[in-house]
Amino acid sequence: ELKAADIPDLAISFICASGAHGALSYLDFHKKLGAEVMHKFPVYNHNPYENCSYVGQTSQGTKLYVNSEVMSCDLKIGIGSMAPHPQSGFSGGGKIILPGVSGMDSIDAYHRLEIEARETGRGNIVGPGNYTENPLVKDFNESARMASLDFKIDAIFNGKGQACALFVGEPQTEYFKAVEFAASHYATRPVPDTDIAVVNTYSKGNEAIIGLIMGIMMLTEKGGDLVLIMDCPAGQVVHYLLSSFGQVAKGRLFSAVNFQLPWIKRMIVLSPQSEKSMADWLAIPGTVWAKTWPEVLETLKQDYPHGAKVAIVPDGTIQYLSDMGASIMSKKFLE
């Protein structure tokens, strides 16, 4: 359609909406876009620390700075996907603008909306699956309008990473149509009386820590063991806002997962890669790190010599519990 509108290839460029995540390589872009696109068009990383133009302030007070190259374009088309998100409920829609191509101060303010909601007793409006009253959704939808995002494409994908539904159109309208489908598509029911929850992390293998949420919610009040499979040869994602960069050097909103939950008897991380820095982030006391599945089995058999009831989550990075599970989770954390 761009070609039919006489827009030349030289006028088209791609900008990766990486937010506060680390820069992507040529190989990353090649996997995502393919050889033909890489040959015909320039593809750029987003830099949240420089070259961001002030656009205005959202109704919740976020001062919005957006990638200057994006703002210089006459036509802005967002290409992305939608999946459950640990803060905004679901990704997709205007999230490609904020935090996608926004400045670090804007990204910081956006993330603090979730923290504020939890600290003021409104934790039930944020988190996986919660989008109707979510302040982050309101912020990124406003930001998309302010930045004049013209058109948005969101794919819904299956457990193999294949697109199985596509939603396109005006960003906010498209978002709410897509999220109706996504809310049902990705929903998972809890398994009663689980002794062990085994959570695989596939779609977002480099953000394996997201899988913790599903594992924690799958375990029942009586408690149990949580096994998190973290197997990504490229390693875990760099997040300049949330990651650890040393013993004293941390991202602005770094917060270690170091709390002891009474219903988690033992945390086991299966990770063939020796990525020691992840222990800064994933620091639940008593965590057992294993490199192979036989090691995990040997550890579990010590406490379950006669068998156990196991809940297996194929992909904890894109599954979320239905309303029943969400209410259980809220109750646990409120207590």
By residue count, the chain amounts to 335
* Helix, strand, coil % over all residues of the chain, rounded to 5: 35, 20, 45
Helices then strands, counting H and E runs in the chain, come out as: 10, 16
Instruction: Give the C-alpha separation, 313 to 199, whole Å.
Output: 5
Model confidence at 325, in pLDDT bands (50, 70, 90)? very low
Q: For residue 209, tell me if it sits in a domain.
A: yes
Q: Long-range contacts of range 2-8, CB-CB < 8 Å, 24 or more positions apart?
A: 7/75
Confidence (pLDDT) at 330 = 42
Please give the biggest Cα pair distance in the chain.
70
> Is residue 313 within 8 Å of residue 199, measured between CB atoms?
yes
Q: Are residues 65 and 98 in the same domain?
A: yes
The domain tally of the chain equals: 2
End position of a domain, from candidates 131, 164, 185: 185
Confidence (pLDDT) at 260 = 78
**Closest by alpha carbon to 161, among 290, 315, 278, 269?**
315
Q: Which residue has the higher pLDDT, 323 or 122?
A: 122
- HEC string of 11-79 equals HCCEECCCCCECCCCHHHHHHHHCHHHHHHCCEECCCCCCCEEEEEECCCCCEEEEEHHHHCCCCCEEE
Beta strands in 112-241 (DSSP E): 151-157, 163-169, 187-188, 196-199, 224-229
The model's pLDDT over 83-113, given as tens digits with 9 standing for 90+, comes to: 999 999 999 999 999 999 999 999 999 999 9
Model confidence at 220, in pLDDT bands (50, 70, 90)? confident
Q: Are residues 108 and 17 in the same domain?
A: yes
Q: Which residue has the higher pLDDT, 332 or 135?
A: 135
The model's pLDDT over 150-199, given as tens digits with 9 standing for 90+, comes to: 999 999 999 999 999 999 999 999 999 999 999 999 999 999 899 999 99
Q: For residue 327, tell me if it sits in a domain.
A: no
Q: For residue 176, tell me if it sits in a domain.
A: yes
Q: Are residues 32 and 106 in the same domain?
A: yes
User: What's 165's domain CATH number?
Assistant: 3.40.50.11440
Confidence (pLDDT) at 262 = 85
Cis? peptide before 99, omega within 30° of 0: yes
pTM equals 0.93
Q: Is 305 helix (H, G, I), strand (E, B) or coil?
A: coil
Q: Are residues 254 and 267 in the same domain?
A: yes
Q: Are residues 22 and 157 in the same domain?
A: yes
Q: For residue 334, tell me if it sits in a domain.
A: no
Confidence (pLDDT) at 323 = 59
Q: Are residues 47 and 147 in the same domain?
A: yes
Q: Are residues 103 and 172 in the same domain?
A: yes
Quote the DSSP letter at residue 133: S
Q: For residue 335, tell me if it sits in a domain.
A: no
Of the candidate ranges 127-131, 135-139, 249-253, 324-328, the one whose mean pLDDT is the lowest: 324-328
Q: Are residues 72 and 211 in the same domain?
A: no
User: What's 198's domain CATH number?
Assistant: 3.90.226.30
Q: How distant, in Å, are the alpha carbons of 30, 59, 240 from that of 129?
A: 31, 23, 25
Range of the domain at 77: 9-185
Q: Are residues 27 and 161 in the same domain?
A: yes
Q: Provide the token pair at 26.
A: 């040529």
For residue 216, the tally of other CB atoms under 10 A from its CB is 21
Residues 6 or more apart whose CB falls under 8 angstroms from that of 173 comprise: none
> Is residue 281 within 8 Å of residue 209, measured between CB atoms?
yes
H-run or E-run covering 56: strand 52-57
Q: Provide the token pair at 166.
A: 């596509």
What is the Cα 66 distance to its own chain's centre? 20
Read off the pLDDT of each residue in 1-10 and give the average, rounded to a whole number: 92
Q: For residue 4, tell me if it sits in a domain.
A: no
Q: Are residues 163 and 220 in the same domain?
A: no
Instruction: Give the C-alpha separation, 110 to 142, whole Å.
Output: 12
Q: Are residues 218 and 112 in the same domain?
A: no
Residues 6 or more apart whose CB falls under 8 angstroms from that of 95 comprise: 80, 85, 88, 140
Q: For residue 273, tell me if it sits in a domain.
A: yes
End position of a domain, from candidates 185, 212, 236: 185
Q: Is 235 helix (H, G, I), strand (E, B) or coil?
A: coil
Residue in this structure with the two tokens 């406490």, named with its chain if needed: 303
The DSSP bridge partners found for residue 288 are: 268
**Closest by alpha carbon to 55, among 138, 113, 140, 134?**
140
Q: For residue 333, tell me if it sits in a domain.
A: no
End position of a domain, from candidates 185, 207, 234: 185
Q: Are residues 317 and 218 in the same domain?
A: yes
